[in-house]
Amino acid sequence: MTRTEQTQTGCFITLEGSEGVGKSTNLAFIQQWLTEQGHRSVVTREPGGTPMAEEIRELLLAQREESVGEKTELLLMFAARAQHLHQKILPALAQGCCVVSDRFTDATYAYQGYARGLNLGWIEQLEQLVQEQLRPDLTFLLDMPTEIAQQRVTKRGTTDRFEQEQTRFFETVRQGYLTRAKQEPERFAVINAGQSINKVQQDIAGVLARFFV
Ligand code: TMP
């Protein structure tokens, strides 16, 4: 989809991928690109993005002795998202800003749906309840072989509750994302994140330029 096909409110861009694929660096690149092209942007992340949603993020990411139920995790993700939408994303879009979110509901499908094995139909129902008509206009999926991404995470040192999962979990996350990208090729731009950073950013800039024609 290109920007011209949409309504005149702001645009909603999301950045997705498994751990270690370089989301932070490329998020900064997207923000810089938008600023240089004269677009007002708000950069945010999930879970999180508002003080209360960041508190829910802490609950979700903390390593703890108590085992966290899969449905607990799913509902907390959507609780954080509901607050994020109400408090930050929807007001920014209404003001005509481009909202760029480091992860959104595709992550819930990939992690809680495909990787944890929760029913995808439940996720669809929660998505409808919390987001109503809102869906991202453009989603970048940074993709690279799981083992290489995992080596990068290991090098970073500290691990949160998700990063402690095994390679098989992240391979399922990756395949879940790729499945979603195949289902919605219009919305997704799959970027080969295993290339040099220059090439990755050239590819991202190309997609953005086509989106904003
Ligand atoms: P981050 O490290 O990319 O900020 O994301 C925090 C973790 O939360 C990451 O391991 C992916 C996970 N996550 C989900 O499991 N479901 C979701 O819906 C979101 C947004 C993130």
Mutate to test the pocket of ligand 1, among 111, 126, 130, 164 (most ligand atoms within 8 A of CB): 111
User: What is the value of pTM for the model shown?
Assistant: 0.95
Percentage, residues of the chain above pLDDT 70 = 96
Contact 133, 11 (CB under 8 A): no
Residue 213 Cα to ligand 1 midpoint, Å, equals 31
Ligand 1 centroid to 60 CA: how many Å? 9
* Distance between Cα 176 and ligand 1 center (Å): 14
Region label for 17, one of left (φ > 0), alpha (ψ between -120 and 50) or beta (otherwise): left
The CA 79 to ligand 1 mean position distance, Å, reads 14
C-alpha separations of 194 from 26, 143, 146, 190 in Å: 13, 7, 10, 12
At residue 53, the 3 state secondary structure works out as helix
Give the chain's domain count.
Answer: 1
Structural tokens at position 191:
């970027």
Residue (of 176, 178, 195) closest to 22 by Cα position: 195
Containing domain of residue 118, as a range? 3-211
* pLDDT one-digit tens code per residue, 40-85: 999 999 999 999 999 999 999 999 999 999 999 999 999 999 999 9
Domain of 71, CATH number, reads 3.40.50.300
CA separation for the pair 20, 119 (Å, rounded): 26
155-203 confidence digits (pLDDT tens): 888 789 998 888 999 999 999 999 999 999 999 999 999 999 999 999 9
The ligand 1 site (C-beta within 6 Å) comprises: 19, 45-47, 77, 103, 107-108, 111-112, 162
> Using CA atoms, how far apart are residues 151 and 144, in angstroms rounded to an integer?
12
Supply the pLDDT for residue 64.
93
Q: Whose CA is nearest to atom 15 of ligand 1?
A: 111
Paired tokens of 132:
């109503």
Half-sphere exposure in the Cβ direction for 39 (13 Å, CA): 27
